[in-house]
Amino acid sequence: MSDRLASTLSFFGRLTDDLRREPAGHGEYRVTLQAPPTEALYKQDGHFVFADLAPSATDYQFALADGLYQGRRFQKNLPTAAPVELTYDGEDELFAFVNTVNVAARQVTFDPIPFLPIVRAGATVLVEGGISTTLAEDLAGVDVTTAVLTNVTGVGATKLMRIVRSHCLRGKAGPYYPFPAGTTVLLLRVVEDTADQAPIAGALAHLTQVNGVASSSATVGGAALRFVNLGAQRPILGPDADLDASTEARGNAVFYFPGQFALTSLRITVSAPGFVPATTVFPVTAGQTTSATVKLAAV
């Protein structure tokens, strides 16, 4: 009679690439647990898992390591022995403002999305004002402008809409990501304001204005989303966390946006413990990459 070892699943999750909207592959990212210090086990289907953890009302602390994607920290508790999915609002989702509503066809329109990987029928759709419905048909393609919903009651023009593609965590592209042509990218390098300009790791870059305009906020299905009114265009920046980028070990951080938005400048405040914060307006060109260096003076 042979001994058998069994593990009990505690947490599970999946990471999707923010730009490709496909599951990130093993080797493209690492997820670790702070205590007890553990690295996730990675599955061939793209999931990562943690096993044999004790139920706890106190949050377990997780970290996505810097690499192809931006580093981030997140947490979740484990109320019972039942496994918990590591998923949060505002992750693998499509955001859009409703332009028009065709009640008879149950169809809404929005500004063109240049390329949209498939979102399956049945996906949850949340609209500003407490409206919850689902997609009635698959949504995908080039220059997508319409979606058919199962119910459009209460859905109105100018309302902000969330279409939930999946429960995956979103892997935001890091400074070394191979951005596709046409993406508006600002690459920042944060260094000490000294002769040797040593890089500053862990500095926080916070976006405060786009084209001289501060962002506004709207709550959709319990998630606060940021957007900017630029006249004919209203770029949706995403959840509050998307206004921030942290520098990795070499002092690099990145912001990026769809190239169809007519962006001309980004106002960013950079701060780090032990240094005087610096606020700078960076000129950018839509669809192109801009590189800049920020020097922080010690306190």
39 token code pair: 């690295």
pLDDT of res. 27 = 85
**Cα 261-264-267 angle, rounded to 5 deg:** 110
Residues near 137 by beta carbon (within 8 Å), at least 6 away in sequence: 121, 147, 148
* Backbone torsion region of residue 154, taken as left when φ is above 0, otherwise alpha when ψ lies between -120 and 50, otherwise beta: left
Gap between the Cα atoms of 72 and 294, Å rounded: 22
Question: Interior CA angle at 159 toward 135 and 144, to 5°?
Answer: 50
275 closest CA partner among 186, 187, 199, 188: 199
Two structure tokens written together for 48: 């990562």
Extract the tokens encoding 13: 């999750």
All domains in the chain, ordered by first residue: 9-85 (2.60.40), 93-164 (2.40.30.10), 173-296 (2.60.40.10)
Q: Summarize the confidence of residues 120-127 as an average pLDDT.
A: 97
- Model confidence at 70: pLDDT above 70: yes
How far is Cα of residue 290 from the mean position of the Cα atoms in its chain? 21
pLDDT band at 114 (very low <50, low <70, confident <90, very high): confident
* pLDDT value at residue 38: 96
Mean pLDDT of 184-201: 98
Torsion, CA 141, CA 238, CA 83, CA 76, rounded to 10: 170
The answer to which of 1-5, 100-104, 131-135, 140-144 has the lowest mean pLDDT is 1-5
Among 197, 161, 179, 128, smallest CA distance to 17 is for 179
This prediction's pTM: 0.93
| pLDDT interval class at 5 (50, 70, 90) | low
Mean pLDDT of 254-276: 97
Tens-digit pLDDT profile for residues 15-64? 999 999 999 987 899 999 999 999 999 988 889 999 999 999 999 999 99
Separation between Cα atoms, residue 5 and residue 7, nearest integer Å: 7
Cis? peptide before 36, omega within 30° of 0: yes
pLDDT at position 80 is 96
Tokens read off for 251: 């002092």
Average pLDDT in the 167-180 region? 96
For residue 120, what pLDDT band results from cuts at 50, 70 and 90?
very high
Give residue 276's pLDDT: 98
Q: Is the pLDDT assigned to residue 1 strictly greater than 50?
A: no
**CB half-sphere exposure, 273, CA atoms < 13 A:** 2
What is the pLDDT of the chain when averaged over all its residues? 95
User: Contact 169/93 with Cβ under 8 angstroms?
Assistant: no
